[in-house]
């Protein structure tokens, strides 16, 4: 089992007091996971809604994912430097403020009925979420014993899944319920796009309230022990670690596959040879995809203390491949349930890839977190490619793209996650500092 590099808590504490401080800090940070899960999963509702309102193709609609997850690519490394400079807690507070601004920008976007303004608001919102992710993921991973890092991050990810479970239910009731079952160019012009204003005004306000509460919570200060002894001296770069470099690709593949599937469930279930559901009814089913992920993460918090994380990762990736292929080659309820069950297989992937990738990095942990969160841009790239394939070949064949992503994750769990230094040709020529 891989482990996260040793850490010191400042000021030092001992025994029950240390455990209490860990628990209090972990409870506070867990609220962040819930919030960004809720916000991120609302994209699965926005995509079919705005697709209908603005009469977009699949590729055009996936610009929503492009702007949201593209923020991870552009902002993660700067966010890592910000967190390294100001600390985990202040970094989280900055992230909350930026995300709140993005949520409030939905109001003028809806008022002007402008797709470009929606995309801009999503980018600002996602930039704040990126800062939160960069700060909170490594903080949870190193806040406690190294051997339970994967289980601890998986547990907090379970609350992230609670947010992703609730978002489609509320989004379907508040947003998709405003859409008729079929929308053409004539009827689209009469649909009131302001249905998104109230939900995002509430989200922005909640973000500011949670930020205020978090500012009053004491979070232990973390300082890192030196990086693993095997590190090449003098490089000063996290790119020297092969398992991190390959883990970056793993996060790219995982987020891309998960988002590509989740973002198109509504349209997939509307297909006549699947179930032919209305947008609101299909949106309710999206919640089951994320509910399965939530159940898997609560179970994973236990299983990762019993089994090697890398082996569980490989097992889940193999299960995801089998379920997607089953959905592609079936119809009706079987096609729906096999695709929704992929959420269960996704459950352990992010937290396990993340903790395997940062194992043994010591003082490089913040930069590594920035690199890993940069790879969340997979949620922009893979769904966009998915949309292009769907426009030309149909949704069923487009599902082969997530299969390829899960194939890489299977290999990473079996071979790529081994904690060794990257060969010279894989080192970053620009040396991050």
Class at the top of the CATH hierarchy for domain 7-422: mainly alpha
- Going by pLDDT thresholds of 50, 70 and 90, the confidence category of residue 256 is very high
Joined together, the tokens standing for residue 319 give: 């299960």
**Residues 323 and 339 sit within 8 Å (Cβ to Cβ):** yes
- Please state the domain extents for the chain: 7-422
- Going by pLDDT thresholds of 50, 70 and 90, the confidence category of residue 24 is low
Q: Which long-range contacts (CB under 8 A, 24 or more apart) does 192-196 make?
A: 193/53, 193/110, 193/113, 194/110, 194/111, 195/49, 195/110, 196/46, 196/49, 196/106, 196/110
pLDDT surpassing 70 at residue 19: no
pLDDT of residue 386: 93
How many Cβ atoms from other residues are within 10 Å of residue 74's Cβ? 15
Across 288-292, 309-313, 406-410, the highest mean pLDDT is recorded for 406-410
- Going by pLDDT thresholds of 50, 70 and 90, the confidence category of residue 369 is confident
Answering whether pTM is above 0.85, one says no
pLDDT of residue 125: 92
pLDDT of residue 277: 85
């Amino acid at each position: 089992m891989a482990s996260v590099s040793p850490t010191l808590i400042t000021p030092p504490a001992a025994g029950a007091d240390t455990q209490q401080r860990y628990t209090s800090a972990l409870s506070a940070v867990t609220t962040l996971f819930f919030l960004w899960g809720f916000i991120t999963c609302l994209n699965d509702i926005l995509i079919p809604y705005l697709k209908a309102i603005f009469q977009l193709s699949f590729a055009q609609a996936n610009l929503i994912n492009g702007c949201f997850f593209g923020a991870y690519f552009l902002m993660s490394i700067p966010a890592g430097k910000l967190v390294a400079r100001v600390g985990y807690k202040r970094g989280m507070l900055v992230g909350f403020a930026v995300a709140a601004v993005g949520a409030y920008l939905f109001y003028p976007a809806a008022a002007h009925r402008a797709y470009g303004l929606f995309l801009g608001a999503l980018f600002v919102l996602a930039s704040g979420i990126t800062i939160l992710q960069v700060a909170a993921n490594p903080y949870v991973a190193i806040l406690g014993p190294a051997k339970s890092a994967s289980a601890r991050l998986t547990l907090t990810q379970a609350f992230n899944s609670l947010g992703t479970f609730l978002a489609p239910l509320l989004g379907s009731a508040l947003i998709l319920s405003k859409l008729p079952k079929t929308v053409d160019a004539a009827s689209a012009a009469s649909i009131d796009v302001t249905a998104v204003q109230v939900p995002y005004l509430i989200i922005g306000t909640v973000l500011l309230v949670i930020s205020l509460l978090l500012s009053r919570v004491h979070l232990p200060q973390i300082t890192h022990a030196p990086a693993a002894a095997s590190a090449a001296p003098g490089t000063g770069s996290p790119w020297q670690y092969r398992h991190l470099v390959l883990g970056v690709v793993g996060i790219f593949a995982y987020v891309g596959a998960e988002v590509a599937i989740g973002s198109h469930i509504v349209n997939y279930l509307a297909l006549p040879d699947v179930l032919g559901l209305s947008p609101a009814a299909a949106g309710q089913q999206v919640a089951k995809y994320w509910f399965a992920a939530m159940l898997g993460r609560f179970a994973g918090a236990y299983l990762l203390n019993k089994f090697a994380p890398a082996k569980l990762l490989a097992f889940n990736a193999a299960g995801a491949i089998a379920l997607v292929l089953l959905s592609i080659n079936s119809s009706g309820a079987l096609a729906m349930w096999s695709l929704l069950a992929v959420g269960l297989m996704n459950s352990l992937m992010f937290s396990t890839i993340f903790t395997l990738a940062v194992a043994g990095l010591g003082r490089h942990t913040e930069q590594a977190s920035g690199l890993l969160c940069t790879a969340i841009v997979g949620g922009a790239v893979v769904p966009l490619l998915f949309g292009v394939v769907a426009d030309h070949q149909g949704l069923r064949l487009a599902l082969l793209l997530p299969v390829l992503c899960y194939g890489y994750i299977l290999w990473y769990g079996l071979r790529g996650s081994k904690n060794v230094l990257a060969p010279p040709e894989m080192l970053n020529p620009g040396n991050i500092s």
